[in-house]
Amino acid sequence: MKKISFIGLAVLLLLSGCAPRFEKQEEVVQDADTDKSKETAIIPKYNISDKFYRAILPFEPAKARGLVVSNLNTRYDIEEFETGLMRVAQKQFDPDQYLFQEGQNLGKKTVNLWLNRKFTDAQLKQENLEPEDNIGLNPLDPGKGDIDKRNEANPIYLAHILEHDYLVKNKDNKVALGGVVIGLALNSINYYQKEEFGATYSNEIKNIEAEGRKIAQEVLKRLRQMEGLEEVPITIALFKQNEKSSVVPGNFISYTNIDQGSNQIGKWEKVNEKYYIFPADDKTKNKFRTDSNAFDGFKQDVEKYFPNFNGVVGRAFYAEDQLQELDINIPIQFYGQSEAVSFTQYVTGLVMQHFPDYVSVQVSITSVNGPEALIVRKADQEEPFVHIYN
């Protein structure tokens, strides 16, 4: 069993699914934007995986940085929305050819205005907005009649907009925008209040994907009107976020690639990805019986070590109905370092015994004092990385 002290490296290697590549050297490039003074940028020489993009330095934060935290329901949705959007990007923009940059075209004001409802003249005045700011992508709430029926008929479909930019380096050693990927986070549940500071009510939203596609067409139209985005390829992906009480994130449901200079969306591609909780409910168990049985066997063996313990929980990520990653949490109380070491060794053996080689597995062992141990077994890895916190 190997031990490694750099936890961040272990986690990154787990996500990568392959060995790091360190052969590329640093390169100095020029800003290709003719409207700006040329600035020197650096491409890092290290790329930890074929599945990650290198990013130019110095780091340029997104123009709408920070909004995702307040607009999405849970931290699970926030993480998956960002990382899942990069997985979608890889279908169109090869990490070997493109560099990553956070969105530089959609600013905070623009995003916030787009996330609004459409307003009546009276509502505009109440919101202290000008007529030109009446560009919300969510439907109008007329403000009259039964509030429950109004929210059922006109829910807030769009929760957030996320932009990622992908750059390419040309023969003159300059970088230019090569593509834009836009994520549209859609609500599955509509939350609303009948009075300020009052109780929160909710209703399930229907026709999410159909409405998301309508919004995507309008977003594309607006992007094409922005300077610098008239011709670049654009990908738009729809993300369905879960309810506020969910312990698993939502998932991307479809995406579309728009060719250079096109103003119309054509074909949409389905995304077959989803998260599940183990121990599984009956529906999940019937769908993924082999994986569910493997987790149950792992859980039972953990409980043999501590007979009165019953707290093993796993979060499973599936793509194309195939288990890809399993993140397991074991909260337990230890009464000494030797006990923690012994238990970690035992659990490491169980990981190798119960889960197939093609699945990436991460086990976090925690106590009331915080993290106790981390076990990371990448797909097709013969020996896991193990770290016991001191």
pLDDT in tens, 360-374: 999 999 988 899 999
Answer yes or no: is 38 within a domain.
Answer: no
Domain final residue pick, 247, 271, 295: 271
Residue 10 has pLDDT above 50, yes or no: no
Residue 49: band (very low, low, confident or very high) from pLDDT cuts 50, 70, 90:
low
**Residues 333 and 351 both lie in one domain:** yes
Strands (E) across the chain are located at 2-3, 27-31, 40-43, 54-55, 99-102, 158-169, 174-187, 189-193, 200-204, 234-241, 251-258, 269-270, 273-278, 313-319, 322-331, 360-367, 370-377, 385-388
Any idea what the CATH number is for the domain that residue 330 is in?
3.30.300.190
Residue 55: band (very low, low, confident or very high) from pLDDT cuts 50, 70, 90:
confident
pLDDT for res 41: 66
> Looking at this protein, which amino acid is placed at residue 112?
N
Residue 51: band (very low, low, confident or very high) from pLDDT cuts 50, 70, 90:
low
Residue 37 has pLDDT above 70, yes or no: no
Mean of the pLDDT values across residues 314-323?
A: 97
Answer yes or no: is 7 within a domain.
Answer: no
Can you give the pTM of this predicted structure? 0.86
Domain final residue pick, 244, 271, 298: 271
pLDDT for res 54: 87
Element (H, E) at 78: helix 75-90
Total domain count for the chain? 2
**Residues 217 and 290 both lie in one domain:** no
Query: Which residues lie below 8 Å from residue 97, measured CB to CB, with a gap of 6+?
Result: 168
- Give the side-chain half-sphere CA count within 13 A for 171: 0
Residue 1: band (very low, low, confident or very high) from pLDDT cuts 50, 70, 90:
very low
Structural domain of residue 331, as residue ranges? 276-388
